[in-house]
Amino acid sequence: MELEKSERPWGRYEVLQEGAHHKTKCIWVYPGKRLSYQRHQKRAEHWFIVSGSAEITLNGVVTKNSAGDSITIGIGDLHRIGNIGTDDVIFIEVQTGTYFGEDDIERIEDDFGR
């Protein structure tokens, strides 16, 4: 089975592994771009920064993060990652929960009008 790959206005992602209770993605965020400020009702996420300079917002608290940093996002937590550097931010996202569809995204704020 071919695993999912997707281009987005902020970068791209590839699904590395998917199971009944988890999904693992590699995500690239282009310089100057950021994902929507969002939350999920059916999954938690754990991010591990592989490279680049990231700005992460978690429930209104903004932190600067780089390679080797990790962050845990609980179900219902508001979160966003942005690229504040000149190279791609690359991070591994491990989702755990009961459902992993892209329709379990509640966008609070989005740079691309989605």
Quick: pLDDT tens for 20-75.
999 999 999 999 999 999 999 999 999 999 999 999 999 999 999 999 999 999 99
Report how far Cα 72 is from the mean position of its chain's Cα atoms. 11
Which CATH superfamily includes the segment(s) 5-109? Answer: Jelly Rolls (2.60.120.10)
Tokens of 48: 């591990």
106 Rama class: left (phi>0) / alpha (psi -120 to 50) / beta:
beta
- Whether pLDDT at 76 is above 70: yes
Closest CA to 112 of 13, 34, 5: 34
Kindly state the tokens that stand for 106. Answer: 């509640």
pLDDT at 19 over 70: yes
Which pLDDT belongs to residue 1? 65
**Residue bearing tokens 């379990």:** 104
